[in-house]
Amino acid sequence: MPDQSLTLIQFLLEERRRLDADRDLTTLLHSVATACKAVSSSLKSGALADVLGNLDTENVQGETQKKLDVIANDIFLRRCEFSGVLAAMVSEEMDEVYPIPTQFPKGRYVLLFDPLDGSSNIDVNVSVGSIFSIIRLDETPEEESYDAVLRPGYEQVAAGYALYGPSTMLVLSTGEGVNAFTLDGNIGEFRLTQRNLRIREDGSEFAINASRARWWEPPVKRYIDECIAGESGPRGRDFNMRWIASMVAEVHRVLLRGGVFIYPKDSKNAELGGKLRLFYEANPMAFLIEQAGGMATTGRQRILDIKSNSPHERVPVMLGARSEIQRLIDYHSEFDTV
């Protein structure tokens, strides 16, 4: 495969020439990729560098911060504020929208990110990731305000994630399909390893935290019960269950092997609106999944159509192969109409 030798920056430059795209977006994606390489490097040393474990602090969502949550957040801020193309940043680990410090030039882009996703897995050395979403504003805002920078997901111009697994990968879309890169440690660069990922329709895996089953809504329970019934149930075939507790790793599997990933709103988390956050978890993953031919919904609304003024808004998330997600949507609408 001749493409295998392309580095990320070569790929981005090629895409920019082909699509006559904005030079600033290439600059920003390069900064994000550099941040991901730096996070990957911090993770690798683990206990040797004393980066595991909790801090005494909580983030705005009341979650105890891990040392690496804060380290990864700082890496993203320092690597990206310098780019000169950003108006603001939004992070899971920061209460408010982060304005670009005055010593740096500003631009029209907004970067929204989860610096370390699946961080409960860090201390047990299981895969984690970083997730990012990029919006281009019509103009550089004079003063950052939630209204200016918090745009619906359909306005994303790029989104992606880094997966820190047995190898470090960067999976990216600029609205022209989904491409996957693997970090080549010998040269310190991401290299294109899979072009134009498409979600299989014949996958047979579902991912949901089944310990919450007693709080699920009936349409979710119906879908999962039918999967578990397997060959002898209404689906007429067997399914397999997966739960890594790391959205990046789950979405990566869905992109490569099909199936679905579900984190619903249930009676226990209903007051919060769900578990996963709209701007830096649901939106970027929904963008990638749609770009790979799949669907992403709350069960009742397309994720990318949701509007919110709250940077840490939580939403139900169901994403994956079209036919499976359509089935979930149908089950919700059947339930809502009786």
Question: Sign of the CA dihedral 300, 304, 307, 310?
Answer: positive
Out of 29, 97, 117, 319, which residue is the one contacting Mn ion (CB under 5 A)? 117
- How far is the C-alpha of 336 from the C-alpha of 155, rounded, in Å? 29
Instruction: From the list ligand AHG, Mn ion, none, pick the one residue 245 interacts with, judged by a Cβ distance below 5 to 8 Å according to partner type.
Output: ligand AHG
Residue of 81, 117, 313, 324 that binds ligand AHG (CB under 6 A): 117
Question: What is the x/- site pattern for ligand AHG, positions 244-283, by CB under 6 A?
Answer: -xxx---------------x-----------x--------
The Cα-based distances of 239 to 203, 221, 225, 285 in angstroms read 9, 15, 11, 23
**Of residues 83-102, those binding Mn ion (CB under 5 A):** 92
Closest CA to 296 of 308, 309, 306, 310: 306
Residue 241 CB, nearest approach to ligand AHG (Å):
13
DSSP state of 95: S
User: Nearer Cβ to ligand AHG, position 92 or 217?
Assistant: 92
Closest approach, Cβ 277 to Mn ion, in A, equals 7
Per DSSP, helices labelled H in 142-211 are: 146-149
Closer residue to Mn ion (CB): 21 or 170: 170
Chosen residue from 4, 57, 167, 209 binding ligand AHG by CB under 6 A: 209
254 Cβ neighbours under 8 A, 6+ residues apart: 199, 203, 207, 260, 261, 289, 294, 319, 320, 321
**CB contact at 8 A, 67 and 42:** no
Considering all CA atoms of the chain, what is the largest pairwise distance in Å, rounded to the nearest integer? Answer: 65
Q: Which stretch binds ligand AHG (CB under 6 A): 22-30, 110-118, 224-232, 300-308?
A: 110-118
Give the residue nearest to Mn ion (CB): 117
> Which residues would be at the binding site for ligand AHG (CB under 6 A)?
63, 92, 114, 117-119, 209, 245-247, 263, 275
- Binding interface with Mn ion (CB under 5 A): 92, 114, 116-117
